Amino acid sequence: MCGIVGILGAKPVAEDLVDALRRLEYRGYDSAGVATVENGHLERRRAEGKLRNLSERLMREPLAGKAGIGHTRWATHGAPSERNAHPHMSENVCVVHNGIIENFRELREELTRAGAVFASDTDTEVVAHLISYEMRKGAEPVEATRNALGRLRGAFALAIIFAGHDNLMIGAREGSPLAVGHGDQQMFLGSDAIALAPFTDKVTYLEEGDWVVLHRESFEIRDRQGRKVERPMLTSQASGFLVDKGNHRHFMLKEIHEQAEVISHTLTNYMDMAAGTVRFPDLGVDLATVPRITISACGTAYYAGLVAKYWLERYARIPVEIDVASELRYREAPMPEGGLAVFVSQSGETADTLATLRYCKAAGQRIVSVVNVRNSTIARESHVVLPTLAGPEIGVASTKAFTCQLSALACLALAVARARGQLSEERERELVRALVEVPRHLTSLLRDERRYEELAHWFSKAKDVLYLGRGLSYPIALEGALKLKEISYIHAEGYAAGEMKHGPIALIDEKVPVVVVAPNDDLFEKTVSNMQEVAARGGQIVLVSDADRDSIGCEVAAHIRMPALHPFVTPLVYALPMQLIAYHTAVLMGTDVDQPRNLAKSVTVE
């Protein structure tokens, strides 16, 4: 989602604001801007498009203020344009904002009647005018902001500066993350600790409803009732996350190549590899008697959860309910007494997932989160956190975060299976050994990417691509289709292979590539039968399988030969060719691989 940075500094802050925003580019954005307090006045520079456009603007029209805020915007209200870019201003207030003000229309109408003149189409601008309105009635900035916050509905993070006050900044958080950074006679605000890493490693995360008043030498946090509260100061690890592309063309490719290493880190966190056993934290419930596990997530994380459903039901013999987070809570799903609810999120800030977590928590479920950011909101509101050790993932399209989620969830499945008496010691060692071998297989597959470059020439000419799979391969087919449409903008759909004859087969012709994810497992013959139906109708098949091509019984246009694997770990390894097909197709088509259009890394509004 959008990125926020604020600095009360000892020197002009505009350059540091832009550098900090550059560290938030991975979130996705369409415009950017900064504002500072100079000689008692508010000065602002904004630009549509990439941060380099803002940097060029600042070179022509520099800012000298030592107090300032900056923002990268991903459009929600109002089209991407300079007039809709943040920061937004009234006569004496300047605001940057992540999230959505749900009641902005009624506020805008009220403020317009009171004389406010709006210069943008955004919901954010009402915040600046609302605070100004309170100040015109005689309130000082802090009181005016408190009064205005009480009238806002929605999810938001705010950073606010004021004309005539170069030693004051106010931040507020309701649903969207915001952190305070502590420096030497300097203070900072950021929507992400990564943005603050060059300035400080001392960070305080605001909790729901908190707002903070910053001065260079002090800060004060209050809750939504206005009571002064203390929040812990943490030492952030983000300073170690200064990342670049290395020798790779894109962050996405770098992160694809990092998977063997980060999967190893994640597995080591949950397994005793020498003993061949899972070493899992206490989840605070008796796994032998848990009546049901509920899993919820969004996007790629949902597909990781879907794989976990197959694993848990097959190996642990426990009922599993799974749904996308944006649906689960709104259908008011009944929760069993003593149930376990698992939430999967890379950022730990996904708005729909967080809302569903709170629904399940209120229903008495034990909350477990699988997240890549340990200090995230989802992590903090969970009973137990299962961290994935993927490191920062900069590419918007998830790769290493997905396979690390699968790694943690695989270990969870084994822990539950063992607790329920469904896993013998010998069987546990067999499955752990299969997981340990995953990084080696990934490294081997990454030695030669030419086959994917060749496929890209064909895929780049397609208007539609289908992905098919059965069992554990079905979620990987769904993920393959998502990756392709995310970064190449080619329409793609994933289907359970057995569903082809129930409708989707009508789409097949000689121009449609069909990727078939078909490890040589107990469902292989069924998948081959579906593949033959596709071939009979002219479909151009790309077979991803460890089976011999000659054993298929029909012509295939291409065969991505996979290593022989234990069926348990095929999702972890078969995810790789899905990523590489999408990546090389997108590169050939010239799209913005790391920051695809209309997408954001962390979706912090519903």
> What are the Cα distances from residue 343, in Å, to 205, 288, 322, 442, 606?
21, 20, 10, 26, 16
Determine phi and psi for 355, rounding to 5 degrees. -65, -40
Does 2 participate in catalysis according to the annotation? Answer: yes
Report DSSP state, residue 505: G
Among 65, 132, 72, smallest CA distance to 97 is for 72
The active-site residue, picked from 2, 360, 404, 411, is 2
Does 254 participate in catalysis according to the annotation? Answer: no
What residues does 369 pair with on adjacent strands?
343, 385
What is the token pair recorded at 432?
A: 């752990």
CA 72, distance to chain mean position in Å, is 16
Within 13 Å and on the Cβ side, how many CA atoms surround 40?
1
Within 13 Å and on the Cβ side, how many CA atoms surround 14?
26
> What are the Cα distances from residue 81, in Å, to 121, 324, 414?
10, 32, 50
What is the token pair recorded at 306?
A: 């879907």
Q: Cβ–Cβ contacts within 10 Å for residue 88, how many?
A: 28
DSSP string, 534-593: HHHTT-EEEEEESS-GGGSSS--SEEEE-----GGGHHHHHHHHHHHHHHHHHHHHT--S
Distance CA 222, CA 215 (A): 15
Distance CA 168, CA 29 (A): 27
Do 564 and 558 meet the contact criterion of CB atoms below 8 Å apart? no
> What are the Cα distances from residue 312, in Å, to 163, 298, 357, 411?
58, 19, 20, 10
Determine phi and psi for 467, rounding to 5 degrees. -125, 135
The active-site residue, picked from 66, 254, 483, 601, is 601
Do 88 and 95 meet the contact criterion of CB atoms below 8 Å apart? yes
- Residues annotated as part of the active site: 2, 601
